[in-house]
Amino acid sequence: MNYTISEIAVIIKAEDYKFPEKEVSVILTDSRSLTFPEETLFFALVTERNNAHRYIYDLYRKGVRHFVISDNIANKDKMPDANFLKVPDTLAALQQLATAHRNRFDIPVIGVTGSNGKTIVKEWLYQLLHEDYNMVRSPRSYNSQIGVPLSIWQMNESTELAVIEAGISQPGEMDKLEAIIKPTVGIITNIGGAHQEGFASMQEKSLEKLTLFKDSDCIIYNGDSALISDTVEKMCLGTREIAWSYKDKNGPLYIIKVTKEDENTRIRYSYLQYEGEFAIPFVGDAAVENAIHCLAVMLYLGKGPNEITKKMAKLEPVAMRLEVKEGRNNCLVINDTYNSDINSLEIALDFQVRRATAGMRRTLILSDILQSGMLPATLYRKVSQILMHKGVDRLIGIGPEISACEKSFGMDAEFYLTTDSFLNSGAAERFNNELILIKGSRDFHFEQISEALELKQHETILEVNLDALIDNFNFYRQKLKPETKIICMVKAFGYGAGSYEVAKSLQDRGCDYLAVAVADEGAELRKAGITMPIMVMNPEMNSFRTLFGYSLEPEIYSFKLLKAFSKEAEQLGIMHYPVHIKIDSGMHRLGFTFEDMPLLVNELSAMPSIRARSVFSHFAGSDETRFDDFSLRQIAIFKDCARIIQNVTPFPVMRHILNTAGISRFTDEQMEGVRLGLGLYGISPIGNEPGLRNVSTLKTTILQIKELDADQTVGYSRKGVLSRKSRIAALPIGYADGVDRHLGNGKGYVIINGRQAPYVGNICMDVCMVDVTDIDCQEGDKVEIFGDQLSVCVLAKWLDTIPYEILTSVSSRVKRVYYRE
């Protein structure tokens, strides 16, 4: 839907705009996601760490002409035909516009909130209802103060039903979302511990979440939850309640019986005096609850029992994450079949753009986009425009509708009527050095394409959660002043997680510097397309040409290295090359001492070829309170050294001594920069810090299960002696993959189906064995070596080592799978 600038200005109470009759249809809050500049209105949001006003001139040069601002604008005189709508608060203005947009629609709007299951319920409702309604739903997890307005903005003249997800982390947030969403039907899935740090009690959180439904016609919830039931009663909502229950036979929706079978669950229910039954192809308790919430919505909307039974049986798993996997023939495969609509396509293409590397062709495999509410010709013309704006090099279209519109695509493209015809054509064998985004509607079963393109390796993988990585980055960033620079450590292959994907994610999120151990690590990042500054912590004498060739900034820790590097720079005619001066303030590993300062500043003053970009030092024990006096002495020595260097340097010199532990424990000493290492990967060196998330999960599968009698032995040297009749599972992972040999013989365990399975016998090179006698499992089941259920810190404690060693020991032969939630 289009709005004129004058209409928007009235809604958000803006000032200083011109060209009032110009129209916009696209709302943009992330400058990197620009698609249709001429139709875009950019909201320059201001956060604790970022001010989007800085991106306005760049967007103007790319064709954007309409901006909502709250600050004064640099280069304003260079943007004569720009519309600047000035408001006190750009986020509030975005929410006001979304609220006004929502008020234009008199349709059912389902609001979904809760601690877990929101996204599953939202997606299942789409699966169940999209054939009956032209639907809009929140893309991915767009449930925040920014995400909800963007979700609402998708509603247009053809929308008949909307499902909007809402999430909060602080008191007072839900009132704002309620005004935007105005749900006619509300679902609260559950109340759990997520984001509890923002609330004084679980009841306070429950009250906050239920605020979303204060004016709804109906609210759906688990009536057996005492917390939710009590909160609903206290709020006196005055709305119709569908409080489903396993216990209350007189309630509106009584769940008579739940029967779990091998691969599905049968649910019998009673609703307003009649009974029904359906089956879902899932057996987990969470899936059953999610399905009952969806059942209540369908009943409320008047769907009959036969229709419900038919559609529930077709529910499919929701791919909760966007995965990046290594493909065949030097390809990377981005698998995103989570949503298939034009909005989610743009989101996925943005992700592809940010993962692109020099020389790698960008390819999109796209199915028909179903139930778009647009005529196919109009839809695929718009898709074609999006692909051109996003720089897609090649399209492979699959489906009768997109194939019929092939003339809409003025690019390298080929089309197939079905997934099978594509796979049978041999086209999957011809991909080479391509970044391939797979985006398909469920009906097309694009998982077959992903399987065909993926590089086959053994079944042990390291899953890396890129969203958790960014959450951890933001966790520490919020402790710092906005102007403090963050240097993120991606040495040692990104602490085992894979330096390129980690670096790419950090570059996207505004990290200031990366740090690697040696020059070759930095060079590989440059080759992969990383453009941000990179510090090399341990440069070698034979690496100078690599440093210069790839614009890598070395740490300088000795006079020998200083003179050699300066001499090389002079011979190449280089002036003011940035270097980072290492101070030994008490660690006594590498660096210049306080006594070295007179000679050091004389040398630096006489070396025009180099420039001290930063001066830094390293704590010996910032993670332990018993060393605090020593740490404070280190800080004092470091400051004295840094002051001496700055006094003879005409340029500002960045100071940084805080590591991850220091950021939390000595925050006031952040100076101009900090170095973030282990905490970035979800591990606090000072103990539990609520809010950090695990990033890396090492997984494998059960290869084989054997039934063995008591007194038999397992493994080399017959070390695994059985004391009872046992079931022993062999796992395709060993010490060559990163499982320490000292974990054998019952010293540790793995997690299988939520249960602990102890190691039996010695760890072998490629295989290890665990006892699964008391665990309901079978061959092919997933096994967690460490991760969300078994912290790497626990393994480190078993082995009397540190988490760094566990993470960096994961072999390069273990496939890394990167994903976003």
Indicate the annotated binding residues for substrate.
Answer: 589, 765
User: Among candidates 236, 258, 255, 239, which has minimal Cα distance to 247?
Assistant: 255
The SS3 call for residue 485 is: strand
Detail the residues annotated as belonging to a binding site.
589, 765
In contact, 781 and 708? CB cutoff 8 Å: no
Is residue 716 annotated as a catalytic residue, yes or no?
Answer: yes
CA distance linking residue 204 with residue 209, whole number of Å? 9
In contact, 596 and 640? CB cutoff 8 Å: no
In contact, 226 and 330? CB cutoff 8 Å: no
User: Among candidates 596, 506, 527, 590, which has minimal Cα distance to 554?
Assistant: 590
Those residues with Cβ within 8 angstroms of residue 384's Cβ, 6 or more apart along the chain or in another chain: 408, 409, 410, 411
CA distance linking residue 360 with residue 371, whole number of Å? 33
CA distance linking residue 784 with residue 752, whole number of Å? 7
Our measurement of the distance from residue 346's CA atom to the centroid of its chain's CA atoms, rounded to an integer in Å, reads: 16
CA distance linking residue 378 with residue 156, whole number of Å? 15
The catalytically annotated residue of 18, 310, 716, 797 is: 716
CA–CA distance from 20 to each of 99, 766, 813 (Å)?
21, 69, 60
CA distance linking residue 503 with residue 491, whole number of Å? 10
Q: Which two tokens stand for residue 208?
A: 């906050």
In contact, 363 and 435? CB cutoff 8 Å: yes
User: Among candidates 44, 42, 1, which has minimal Cα distance to 23?
Assistant: 1
Q: Which strand (E) or helix (H) includes residue 582?
A: strand 577-583
Look at the alpha carbons of 14, 19, 23, 26 in this order and tell me if their dihedral is positive or negative: negative
Q: Which strand (E) or helix (H) includes residue 161?
A: strand 161-165
Single-letter code of the amino acid located at 197: E
3-state SS, 216-276, equals: CCEEEEECCCHHHHHHHHHHCCCCEEEEEECCCCCCCEEEEEEEECCCCEEEEEEECCEEE
Single-letter code of the amino acid located at 314: K
Angle at which helices 285-300 and 118-129 cross, to 10°: 50
The catalytically annotated residue of 122, 176, 205, 491 is: 491
> How deeply is 496 buried, as exposed, middle or buried, from its count of CB atoms within 10 A (0-12, 13-18, 19+)?
buried
Q: Residue written as tokens 């399975």?
A: 757
Phi, psi (rounded to 5 degrees) for 123: -70, -35
Is residue 55 annotated as a catalytic residue, yes or no?
Answer: no
Q: Residue written as tokens 């007194």?
A: 711
User: Among candidates 95, 86, 91, which has minimal Cα distance to 67?
Assistant: 86
The strand pairing partners of 422, in sequence order, are: none
CA distance linking residue 729 with residue 742, whole number of Å? 19
Encode 81-117: b = buried (16+ Cβ within 10 Å), e = exposed. Answer: ebbbbbbeebbebbbbbbbbbbeebeebbbbbbbbbb
Strands (E), 638-739: 654-656, 673-676, 696-701, 704-708, 713-714, 720-721, 726-731
Phi, psi (rounded to 5 degrees) for 130: -65, -20
CA distance linking residue 760 with residue 713, whole number of Å? 9
Q: Give the chain's radius of gyration (CA, Å).
A: 29
Residues labelled catalytic: 491, 716
